[in-house]
């Protein structure tokens, strides 16, 4: 895994520069995938009380699911997930948006109920000018 590469005057730095990798050996080399899982991912999963069988993808998918449940804007989610196009986010996580129409309808009903006039109040639909008044 490589940390975000910095660019200087349009030229990319050598990705093997010491300190460039997010997870690296003490010599600055990238940590082997299996070692990363053994030394970093599994201990973190145990500490969090999650099954060690969780994959990094599962954690990513769970994060997207939580963001969708929180009602995050699709564009914001796409940016957070690193997708260049929100359509890609929708293709990957669109199934998680099921039920959003029901939630939207419920929110609109709540808003309507909160702004609804009290019983017996007359609400004119069109205001007409009184006869003889400008």
Question: Is 48 a residue whose pLDDT tops 70?
Answer: yes
Q: Which residue has the higher pLDDT, 126 or 75?
A: 75
- Check pLDDT > 70 for residue 28: yes
Higher pLDDT, residue 17 or 89: 89
- More confident site: 129 or 2: 129
Band of residue 5 on the pLDDT scale cut at 50, 70, 90? very low
Question: In degrees to the nearest 10, what's the CA dihedral of 89, 94, 95, 97?
Answer: 120
Q: Which stretch, 12-26, 52-66, 114-128, has highest mean pLDDT?
A: 52-66
Confidence of residue 8 (pLDDT cuts 50, 70, 90): very low
Q: Which residues 6+ apart lie within 8 Å of 129 measured at CB?
A: none
What is the total residue count of the chain? 134
Count Cα neighbours of 23 within 13 Å in the Cβ-side half-sphere. 12
Considering the entire predicted model, what is its pTM?
A: 0.51
> Rounded to whole angstroms, how far apart are CA atoms 5 and 15?
7
Q: Is the pLDDT of residue 18 over 60?
A: no
Residue 120 above 90 pLDDT?
A: no
- Backbone φ and ψ for 61, nearest 5 degrees, come out as -65, -40
Per-residue confidence (pLDDT) for residue 1, from 0 to 100: 40
């Amino acid at each position: 895994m490589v940390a975000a590469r910095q660019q200087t005057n349009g030229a990319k730095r050598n990705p093997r520069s010491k300190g460039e990798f997010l997870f690296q050996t003490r010599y600055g080399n990238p940590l082997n995938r299996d070692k990363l899982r053994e030394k970093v991912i599994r201990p973190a999963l145990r500490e969090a009380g999650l099954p060690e069988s969780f994959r990094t993808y599962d954690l990513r998918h769970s994060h997207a699911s939580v963001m969708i449940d929180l009602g995050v804007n699709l564009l914001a989610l796409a940016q957070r997930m690193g997708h260049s196009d929100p359509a890609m986010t929708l293709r990957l996580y669109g199934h998680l948006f099921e039920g959003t129409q029901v939630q939207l309808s419920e929110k609109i009903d709540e808003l309507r109920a909160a702004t609804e006039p009290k019983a017996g109040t007359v609400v004119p639909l069109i205001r007409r000018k009184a006869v003889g008044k400008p």
